[in-house]
Amino acid sequence: MNLNSHVTGDMMKVILDSSRFLFLRKTLRLCCLCLFLGSPYASAQLEFLSVTENAVVMYDAPSLKADKLFVVGLYFPVEAIVHVEGWVKVRDSSGSLAWIEKKFLSDQKYVIVTTAVADVHQSTDVSSPVVFQAVENVILEWLDSDTDGWVKVRHKSGNSGFVRTNQVWGS
């Protein structure tokens, strides 16, 4: 038996064993992911919050000594990403991430218009009368979302109706 062919055979066996190991490891990861996605933890709802003050500073880290990124106003909707000791890392409608003091956030839900103009209808039907229109970046109070694709909202003027979910962010 030639020494080179013997070493090559052993090396081939090691390579095949490594390939099987990698395949099994990937398969196990996939199985774990599938189990997780079927668990109640995977179906957790997004947590939307709103700002409770007229002018609240957003920071790049959970500290008053961190860099100030921008200021947001009353009812500004955010999505909570992480809660850390009196601070919440949040995402806004543009996808920007920042930190805000937890004391300035409320569970009261609001949405922000993300299209140039959003039609707010009398009912959950695009052919129903338009009650009012809201322009981009207008904040509306979230009232309900019982119908797929629609959110019931109220403007600060008191007018309420239904807006398509693809025209707002925060619900």
For residue 99, the model assigns a pLDDT of 98
Predicted confidence band at 145 (pLDDT cuts at 50, 70, 90)?
Answer: confident
Mean pLDDT along residues 36-62: 78
Q: Tell me the one-letter amino acid at 163.
A: V
How many residues make up the chain in this entry?
171
Residue 21 pLDDT more than 70?
no
Predicted confidence band at 108 (pLDDT cuts at 50, 70, 90)?
Answer: very high
Residue 105 to residues 2, 4, 56, 83, 97, Cα–Cα distance (Å) = 75, 70, 10, 12, 15
Predicted confidence band at 4 (pLDDT cuts at 50, 70, 90)?
Answer: low
Q: How many CB atoms lie within 10 A of CB 16?
A: 10
Mean pLDDT along residues 50-72: 97
Nearest to 140 by CA among 119, 166, 160: 160
User: CA–CA separation, 96 vs 105, rounded Å?
Assistant: 17
What's the pTM value of the predicted model, to 2 decimals? 0.72
Dihedral, CA atoms, 118, 120, 125, 128, nearest 10 degrees? Answer: -120
Q: Which residue has the tokens 């925060």?
A: 170
For residue 20, the model assigns a pLDDT of 56
* Inter-residue contact 171 to 151 (CB < 8 Å): yes
Looking at the chain, the whole-number percentage of residues with pLDDT higher than 70 is: 74
Mean pLDDT along residues 30-54: 65
User: CA–CA separation, 1 vs 5, rounded Å?
Assistant: 8
User: CA–CA separation, 65 vs 59, rounded Å?
Assistant: 9
Tokens representing residue 51 in the block: 């700002």
* Inter-residue contact 141 to 74 (CB < 8 Å): no
Mean pLDDT of all residues in the chain?
Answer: 84
* Inter-residue contact 46 to 81 (CB < 8 Å): no
Residue 22 to residues 18, 29, 61, 137, 138, Cα–Cα distance (Å) = 6, 10, 38, 49, 51
For residue 23, the model assigns a pLDDT of 53
Q: Which residue has the tokens 């390579």?
A: 15
